[in-house]
Amino acid sequence: MRLNLSVKICFSAGESSGDSHAANLYLELKKHVPKLNAVGMGGAKMSQAGISLCYDSSQIAVIGVVEIIKHYFEIRRALKKMQELLLNEKPDLLICIDYKEFNFQLAKFAKRNGIKVLFYVSPQVWAWRKNRVKKYGEVIDMMAVIFPFETPYYEAENVPVRYVGHPSVDKVVPKFTKPEALQNFSLNAECPIIGLVAGSRANEIKRLLPVMLQAAERLKIDFPNAQFILPQADSLSDNLIQSYLKHSNINVTVIKNQPYDVMQCCNAIMTCSGTATLEIALLGIPMVICYRLNLLTYQLGKWLVKTRFIGLPNIIFGEQIVRELIQDDATAENLANEIKRLLTDSEAIQNCRADLEIVREKLGKGGGIQNIAALVLEMLQR
């Protein structure tokens, strides 16, 4: 399908994964809409793709009640800028990508002003606040979901919904072969390679990287030849990462802009929860998931969240196939012990890889970006 009309789309992405999804979607849409003009809120990848940004979302990429309160005025400022952008630019379509509460408010404003809204990457209504489904239905024209089990929640409330597939299935492709990546990063395949994936937000790095480094120090005792490698997210500054690494006795190789090449080199990975767990699963690498939140946020989460797991591989599989270390359990000792198990227990390694392959199969054959682009074109033609 090709549109020769002049089209304007506004994107709203508040986090690193949303920034990546928006950039990829824009580039796919440009193949079909040569006169496409895109504006909005996002990060480095959206800007590099050619989207004109009115606000850099890295300033508000926070998670948790306390963190949101601390950044409340900046978040309000970002929302006001986006509302002004909608009024001034009058886009043909607003595409909200994840960042649920902010984008819910923005979608409500857009709807009130006659702008069509597509919400891409559904809020996890299956985990908490299922009553919000109706509310989202009032402020959007279409919900595009990335997991097949999400559609029934919206269909039950007669909210327009389309399963488009998870974009990571196509996106998680290393640039190099594993031997090439090992050579590029100066890694020895004969020695254990352990990944540290501490997150894409500054507050995740603050809470998780120190404990991961402490775990690495413990592992170095049992595995003197162990190598540690960290894929640095675009949303994080060099100064932030180095401020933690300089206080550690562990030598960590930091690699930018090549997360999948880094991941494929690893024998095991310590990772925060979120999209990263799914990317690691798609590459079939054994992992341990850890997460820490502000105490108030954690207590509220325990009260509100109705799912047994936080890790996407576990949620998709339906059982805990990857160990989750949350809050007080996320200690250096527990992390080190689980990584040690994933390096030495051949049966555990084999079972983990087999279960991760099932997760991959459950996500389908890909085509997520093409599917969401087709949905956008369909909405523009209505």
Q: For position 67, what pLDDT does the model report?
A: 62
Query: Residues with Cβ < 8 Å from 53, sequence gap 6 or more?
Result: 39, 40, 41, 42, 46, 47
Q: How far apart are CA 138 and CA 230, in angstroms?
A: 42
Q: How far apart are CA 246 and CA 249, in angstroms?
A: 8
Q: Hey, what are 240's tokens?
A: 């932030």
Per DSSP bridges, beta strands 252-256 and 268-272 are unpaired
| Distance from chain centroid for Cα 248 | 27
| Distance from chain centroid for Cα 103 | 16
Any idea how long the chain is? 382
Rg (CA), the chain: 21
Q: Which residue is listed with tokens 């310590």?
A: 270
CA atoms within 13 A on the CB side of 349: 13
Contacts 24+ apart (CB under 8 A), 181-189: 181/258, 181/261, 181/262, 181/264, 181/265, 182/265, 184/261, 185/229, 185/253, 185/255, 185/261, 185/262, 185/265, 186/253, 187/227, 187/229, 187/253, 187/265, 188/225, 188/227
Mean pLDDT per block of 10 residues along the chain (382 residues) reads 84 90 96 95 95 90 61 89 97 94 96 97 68 88 92 92 92 95 97 95 90 97 97 90 94 95 98 93 97 60 61 92 93 98 97 96 89 96 84
pTM of the model: 0.81
Q: For position 132, what pLDDT does the model report?
A: 78
Domains annotated for the chain, with CATH where assigned, are: 7-165+367-381 (3.40.50.2000), 178-362 (3.40.50.2000)
CA atoms within 13 A on the CB side of 31: 9
Three-class HEC string of the chain: CCCCCCEEEEEEECCHHHHHHHHHHHHHHHCCCCCEEEEEEECHHHHHHCCEEEEEHHHHCCCCHHHHHHCHHHHHHHHHHHHHHHHHHCCCEEEEECCHHHHHHHHHHHHHCCCCEEEECCCCCCCCCCCHHHHHHHHCCEEEECCHHHHHHHHCCCCCEEECCCCHHHHCCCCCCHHHHHHHCCCCCCCCEEEEECCCCHHHHHHHHHHHHHHHHHHHHHCCCCEEEEEECCCCCHHHHHHHHCCCCCCEEEEECCHHHHHHHCCEEEEECCHHHHHHHHCCCCEEEEECCCHHHHHHHHHHCCCCCCCHHHHHHCCCCCCEEEHHHCCHHHHHHHHHHHHHCHHHHHHHHHHHHHHHHHCCCCCHHHHHHHHHHHHHHC
Q: Is 168 exposed, middle or buried (0-12, 13-18, 19+ CB in 10 A)?
A: buried
Q: For position 301, what pLDDT does the model report?
A: 53
